[in-house]
Structure 1
Amino acid sequence: MGAGESKKGADILQLFSPEEQQHIHKLFLHIVPNQSITEPFLKKYINNLFDLDSEVFHAICHCRVNEGHIKDKHVTEIQFSGFLAQCLKGTYSEKADIICLLSGRDAGFVPVKKLYQTVHSVVKSYLQISKSDAPCATWKSHATEEDIARLSSSFLSLNKFCEVGRGGEQTSQNEVDVRGGYKSQDEVEDWISKCHMFLKMFDRVFYHLFPVISKDSAHNITQSFMPTASCVDWKKTNTILDTLSISYINYHLPREHQSVWRLLYSNCLHGDSFAQLTRYVLGKGPNVLLVKDKDGYVFGAYVSDSWEIKPSFYGSEDCFLFSLKPEYGVYTVTGYNSNYIYFNQGQETMPNGLGLGGQLNYFGLWIDYTFNSGHSKAVPKCTTYGSPQLSKSPEFVVDSIEVWAVGPEKKKHDLDEDEEEKVSILDKDVGAKAILELAGRKQHSEGIRELEEEEAPMTEEMKKKMNTIPKMM
């Protein structure tokens, strides 16, 4: 090793803590008993953990930090450390270099077909690794090869990174044309800087292959996308979601709502009834609504507020619509209007049902109070969420509906505090309220109370205070 290479090796090792340097040394000796790693030894070590074992060795030999320094395809411990630094602790640019090498980069360009194969292999390996995560044991779900392919295509179609569709044929929105085309490394770097979910999967897979990062630093890498499923008896019901779809939705939720999902309603468990749906979901906090139509399309919404019966739109800009089948997509608010959530029943002059986005009778997503029908109208896009038509046809027939509350369940004293904030000071002292009314001080806020709120009954204390007023006057 020359003086220049020694300095380079020292600079690389500085990226790792003393504990991590020990892990690298032990891993190196575990892979190979002599002074250098060769391809057969690496392939034997990787075994079935990752499909692209030959490509990984190629990336070790030709990554930015090692390019031109590997002799006779024998990798030293310092060179192995350089690859690990670039792969596990690198910048977007350095990780893009690894991904392009895994995908057969040639003269600075990557074939889209091979890039898709790399993404597919990462998603597949991530799925296998994550099965051991504790939250996964709380779900009765799985993922098929079609599910893996669908998510891989979705990642590559992000921001139209890859061309979508196949010539003039009818294709789904996120079907990536992998038959031809090339991408530059700069384009790959720009893509992974925006596709954070894939990059987290990549980090998890390569940390699993080469577990040298300290446990404290690896916490964010190993954190599961899956929430813990609660309040569900899988002997009595099932879910319309596959494992990757659960992960996809949960990844896009606010962080404070990612840890736990609690089943509130499932039509296969609670019956095909809007009244039953209303009974189980009202006032239960932020939630995820899932719909499967008779054509097999799966879509839904994240609802940031509790469902409440109201004759008008309400909610916040944290809500979003999403699609899961036949393609993945998340559609956040556009700012065009604030028609986030609508939930109403028993009205003769207003639509009765559940809706999100758009406008009355032209919702981005609508479930009618008859329960078995709905619509998704978006020509050209839903004005509130910018979403396309979520169902196969604008009018659809409901097959399945699920509602999951998300985030830790509020404790009783938290709920009491929330209710306390909604109560007027005069509601707390009805005697004072009566005195003001008799003194001619009208309560201007009374007229804007919620329609369903009943007037508080007159208490004995209030009657006594009212009887003392004539004597005081």
Structure 2
Amino acid sequence: MGNNNSKKKRTRKCRLSVCEITRISDALDGSCSVDVSKGVNIDVIQVLWKQELIPSLLVQYQNYLFPHVNSRCSVEEFGDLYVQLVRGSYEEKALTIAKVVGTESDDHEVLYDKMVKYVADLLQSYLKGVERRKTREFLSWHGKVIESVNNENILAIANDWCRDLKQEDSPLIPMEKLEQWLHSCGVVATLHRVELGILFGLDEEDEIGMLPLLMNPEALGRNNHSVLEPAHILHLNFLLPQDYQREWRFLFSTTTHGESFSMLLGKIIDKGPTIIVIVDDHHHMFGGFASQSWTLSPKFQGDVKCFLFTLLPEVKVFHPTGYNEHFMYLNYHQQSMPNGLGMGGQFNYWGLWLDGEFGGGQCSDVCTTYNKYTMLSENKKFLVKHLEIWGVGPAPLSSEEKGERPGILDKDPTARKILELAGKPEHSAGLRGEAVA
């Protein structure tokens, strides 16, 4: 048995290269001013990690690494936590997490509430570190979001990430289920890779942060900020297709632009994929991701990348069922069609609807477009207390940048007048840049 244990230890050590062991040693030496050749002890961790981790997660990691007060380990053994959680098999990851959070049986079963708390602590520690290091992404949002940490909101996000772990008949999570969940939950794998990489000095310089870069913070105007918290932004950003996770652009909010549907249209049409965030008159926060540029049309648009979500009072995500393709709808100044912005459902039975007469909206209690949908707002009809829209991913090229010629209505104002006299007004009037600037 002793030989087997030694073999396992050697296998783990081999997952760290000589260069990586040197990097860990250098990080310890530089931060703690101690000779780690004699081994790493709990005092070193308390000095090195206390600024990066919140207290509860620091205690869990140090208890895993140093089960006894006077415990001491080599640098290779110290790096075992990184190896197991970042490079280990799903079985190894699950077993390590179980040991970190504490098991409830000989089968290493973990309490669901403990697992949610662990994930919440991991998320909060990451956000704490981002703020401390003043990353480029964090600074781009500084002063434009609510930066105070709301533990309940972070716990709600962690609960949504862990939702598939919940057992109907037991508060305990079997190891097999934990392994399956780790295989499918990419956000926790990313948090482990990024956060533990920083803790052990193995982070990559070109590592892309989990927060997007806000490209135009000045567009919100002075003293205006989003209703989102950094945790909300990270959560929504991770749900996006990877190509859209690097950059966000502010497009519209009621605090910056006022309550005007035509103004809203002018800010979102042909601006690429968008995230819509709404706060209703009962303080529910919810919205949707539109995977394509908004355009005026009597037909539904979008694709299966679209989704709806809630952030308050619960965090939930609703992905397409495949039953229909009623993902995005936008129309205005039409007598025979609904005028407004919709996502999911069907006419008069919307998953999410913003009326063209700005200020009101609807959410049906049933929506066949999105899976496991529950009504987003408190009531079917709601009042919009706040609305904001974000462009995600690189900004699409303008007509000039594409080298396109201006349309006939741009070159000949007479053509516009003829349409009006014929009873066919230009429905895009008021939506162009010069009309909404």
Question: Counterparts of 1:133 and 1:103 in 2: how far apart (Å)?
Answer: 29
Verify the 8 A CA contact 1:130 1:224 in the aligned structure 2: no
For residue 194 of structure 2, what is the aligned residue in structure 1? 204
Aligned to 1:264: 251
Q: Could you say which residue in structure 2 is the equivalent of 1:97?
A: 95
CA drift of 1:184 comes to 2.5
Q: Which runs of 5+ in 1 are unaligned?
A: 63-69, 168-179, 424-449, 455-473
Alpha-carbon distance in 1 for matches of 2:220, 2:335: 38
- Paired residue type of 1:121: D
Residue in 2 that maps onto 1:438: none
- The answer to whether the 8 A contact 1:56-1:102 is kept is yes
**Aligned with residue 387 of structure 2, among 394, 397, 401:** 401
Q: Which moved more, 1:280-289 or 1:363-372?
A: 280-289
TM-fit CA distance, 1:61: 5.5
- 1:37 partnered with 2:40: yes
Partner of 1:431: none
Structure 2 matches for 1:6-405, cutoff 5 A? 10-27=10-27, 33=35, 35-50=38-53, 51=55, 52-60=57-65, 73-106=71-104, 107=106, 108-131=108-131, 132-139=134-141, 140-141=144-145, 142=147, 143-157=149-163, 159=164, 161-162=165-166, 181-212=171-202, 215=204, 219-220=206-207, 223-230=209-216, 232-379=219-366, 382-386=367-371, 387-405=373-391
TM-score of the two chains, using structure 1 as the length reference = 0.75
Which secondary structure state, in structure 1, belongs to the residue aligned with residue 396 of structure 2? coil
Contact 2:220–2:256 (8 Å) recurs in 1: no
Q: Secondary structure at the match of 2:77?
A: helix
What CA deviation, in whole Å up to 9, does each residue of 1:251-299 have, x standing for no partner?
1112222222222211111111112212222222221222111111111
Find the residue that maps to 1:311 and give its secondary structure: strand
Moved more, 239-248 or 277-286: 277-286
Deviation at 1:318, TM superposition (A): 2.2
For the residues of structure 1 that align with 2:376 and 2:326, how far apart are their CA atoms? 17
Partner-residue secondary structure (3-state), 2:278:
strand
Q: 1:453 to 1:73 in 2, by over 3 A?
A: closer
Distance (whole Å) between structure 1 residues aligned to residue 159 and residue 243 of structure 2: 29
The C-alpha deviation readout for 1:194-214, integer Å capped at 9, x for no partner, is: 22212322332222221135x
Cα offset, 1:28, TM superposition: 5.4
- 2:410 aligns with none
Change (3 A) 1:38 1:321: same
Once the two structures are TM-superposed, the CA of residue 72 in structure 1 deviates from its matched residue by 7.3
Give the superposition deviation at 1:115: 2.3
Q: Which moved more, 1:370-379 or 1:273-282?
A: 273-282
CA distance in 1 between counterparts of 2:325 and 2:400 reads 28
8 Å Cα contact 1:135/1:226 also seen in 2: yes
Show structure 2 runs of 5+ residues with no match.
408-423, 429-437
User: Which protein has the larger Cα radius of gyration, Structure 1 or Structure 2?
Assistant: 1
Give the letter aligned to residue 104 of structure 1. G
Q: Secondary structure at the match of 1:192?
A: helix
384-393 vs 2-11, greater mean Cα deviation = 2-11
- The residue type equivalent to 2:324 in the other structure is N
How far is the alpha carbon of 1:27 from its aligned partner?
A: 4.3
Percent identity, aligned pairs only, is 27
Moved more, 340-349 or 193-202: 193-202
Pair 1:122–1:368, CA change in 2 (3 A) = same
Deviations 1:153-195 (A, max 9, x none): 22222x2x2258xx9xxxxxxxxxxxx8222222222222222
Query: Match of 1:305, SS?
Result: coil
Shift of 1:84: 3.2
- Per the alignment, do residues 111 and 415 of structure 1 end up closer, same or farther by CA in structure 2, a change over 3 Å counting? same
When residues 414 and 184 of structure 1 are mapped into structure 2, their CA distance, relative to the original with a 3 A threshold, is: farther
Q: Is the 8 A contact 2:85 2:192 kept in 1?
A: no
Q: CA deviation at 1:60?
A: 2.6
Q: Residue 209 of structure 2 aligns to which amino acid in structure 1?
A: Q
**Shift of residue 395, structure 1, vs aligned partner:** 1.0
- Measure the CA separation in 2 of the matches of 1:7 and 1:71: 27
Structure 1 residues 33 and 4 mapped into 2: Cα distance closer, same or farther (>3 Å)? farther
* Segment of structure 1 superposing worse, 361-370 or 104-113: 104-113
Q: Return the alpha-carbon distance in structure 2 between the equivalents of residues 99 and 10 of structure 1.
A: 21
Written as runs of structure 1 = structure 2, the 5 A alignment for 1:406-421 is 406-412=392-398, 416=402
CA–CA separation in structure 1 for the residues paired with 2:241 and 2:225: 25
One-letter identity of the residue aligned with 2:346: Q
CA deviations 1:348-376 (Å, max 9, x no partner) are: 22111111111111111001111111101
When the two chains are superposed, the root-mean-square deviation of aligned CA atoms in Å is 3.2
The residue identity in structure 2 corresponding to 1:134 is R
TM-score, with length taken from structure 2: 0.81
